[in-house]
Chains A and B, each alone.
Chain A
Amino acid sequence: MTAAAGPPVADALRQILARVTGSDDLLGAPLATPLLGAGAGLDSLAGTLLLREIHQRFGVDVAGEDLNLDSLATLGTLTEFIQERAGGG
């Protein structure tokens, strides 16, 4: 996987991230970008909106399946988590 590219799921996630954080910079975020804290700057509100949108768009209930929300480590880990469960995305 290359830096700012990746599978279509990653691109969909970048768009959601840019919207919930209000930062268009995230449209070009590399897969290694951390989502929580300093990286994408996802706080609890933006994070919850992201999870809700993922549930609606991909049918994947991240909060229900990932107790510790480890999938939110980076854009890449979240992309993989969704791809594995949404049937290849």
Chain B
Amino acid sequence: MIKCVIWDIDNTLLDGVYLEPGPAGRPPADPAMLGVLRELSGRGILHAIASRNPPEAANYAAAVTGATFAAAECGWGAKPDAIRAIIAELGIGADAVAFVDDEPIERAEVSAALPEVLVLSPEDAGEAVEWPEFSPVVVTAEASRRGQMYQQRRRRQAEARAFGGSRDDFLRRSGTRVVIEPASAADVPRLHELSVRTHQFNSAGQQVSTDALAELVGSASHRVVIISLSDQFGDDGIVGGCIIQTGTTTTRSWTVVLLMMSCRAMGRGVIDALLAWLCRAAAADGASLVRMPCRLTPRNVPLRVALAAAGFRAGTGDGAAGRTETGGGPPVEPGSTVFDRELTGPLPVLPGWAETRGGA
């Protein structure tokens, strides 16, 4: 059972950023999170704050939410350290703590350092009030499935931490399987959801409607693939997708219209497998170049790290100015930067635990 929820402040407890007040002053409490906070308080669950902010931010959050926080760690240090301090102060176990933060990177860092902590996005927190961890009485099938998924994640992270070897060794030993295969019409709703919900690993930053996706899935000039992930701890289902314009025989290049991956799959080798597959499948199709227009934001730095590792490079010259024409490929959105991967020399290696199906 969860005894204490530790909250981030910016874009989590508050509907905005504490240090960036608008014309109307500092941001108000986030209505959805306020509801969760009150509901859980009613069940006797404690609250605490861990935030990258000056200490006054905790007082402000307490004032606008009307809640009492049993502990508050505000500062510029790492979140896992803040959470450890709160756990020590309150004298509770890490497995009795949930942590809510809107930033996937913060969540990933806490999950990796403190695998016993239940780490939630604000969206998850809205659902989690129904999970058995927060209430022994109300349990729906969907709630217990999600609860299980988080348990699997905690077990995986605990083992990853105890495992001494490299990340690749751990992925292999835990039976990681990444499957890349052509999307079918049945996958359209999930692909749409990924286009709306992914940010860190989203190349073009575009939402794609289900109608447009259905058309692309059936298009002769495009390939749409889905990526599924599982390991001995559990099955994550479809965690990513990719829309590719394979071009004509004259252009000899593949253009990645949209690449997206759930942050749930972060740190598990999926993005590297997908980029390696892209290069190899394009080369096998006779292309000499893979192009990926990206809308660069502070949030998709993880995608850029993966692109650099796979040998993609932004066009020379004033990169961020972008190009509007891709040699017969689709037009590029203004403000996009095109990352290219020449398919000469050694290509990125597709890891042994990744497999392709259905001619992908």
Interface contact B266-A44, CB-CB below 8 Å: yes
Closest chain A residue, CB of each to CB of B166: A41
Give residues of chain B (107-132) contacting chain A, Cβ–Cβ below 8 Å.
108-109, 112
- Tell me which of B218-226, B280-288, B305-313 binds A: B305-313
Contacts of A46 in B (CB 8 A): 267
In B265-322, the 8 Å CB interface with A consists of: 266-267, 269, 271-272, 298, 301-306, 308-309, 313-314, 319-320
- Cβ contact within 8 Å between A45 and B266: yes
Of the candidates B267, B313, B314, B319, which one forms a contact with A45 in the assembled complex, judged by CB atoms under 8 Å apart? Answer: B267
Q: How far is the CA of A46 from the CA of B76 in the complex (A)?
A: 19
Q: Which residues of B contact A67 (CB under 8 A)?
A: 314, 319-320, 337
> Is A75's CB within 8 Å of the partner chain B?
no
B193 / chain A contacts, CB cutoff of 8 Å: none
Partner of B304, one of A23, A41, A42, A69: A69
A23, A44, A68, A72: the one within 8 Å of B302 (CB) = A44
> Which of B168, B301, B303 gathers the greatest number of chain A CB atoms within 10 Å?
B301
Distance to closest chain A CB from B302 (angstroms):
4
B161 within 8 A of A: yes
For the residues of B in contact with A, the DSSP-based class is helix
Say whether, besides A23-B166, A41-B168, A68-B313, A49 and B301 are in contact (CB < 8 Å): no
User: Is B19 engaged at the interface, CB distance under 8 Å to the other chain?
Assistant: no
C-alpha spacing A56/B314, complex, angstroms: 26
Is residue B167 contacting chain A, with contact meaning CB distance below 8 A? yes
Residue B63 at the chain A interface, CB threshold 8 Å? no
Task: Say yes or no: B308 contacts A72, CB within 8 Å.
Answer: yes
B105 within 8 A of A: yes
Cβ of A87 within 8 Å of any chain B Cβ, yes or no, is no
A48 interface neighbour in B112, B161, B302, B314, Cβ under 8 Å: B302
13 contacts between A and B (CB under 8 A): A22-B112, A43-B272, A44-B309, A45-B267, A48-B301, A48-B302, A48-B305, A49-B105, A51-B305, A67-B314, A67-B320, A67-B337, A68-B314
Top 10 closest A-B pairs, CB basis?
A: A47-B305, A36-B309, A45-B267, A69-B308, A44-B302, A44-B306, A44-B305, A48-B302, A63-B301, A67-B319
Chain A interface (Cβ within 8 Å of chain B)?
21-23, 36-37, 41-49, 51-52, 56, 63, 67-70, 72
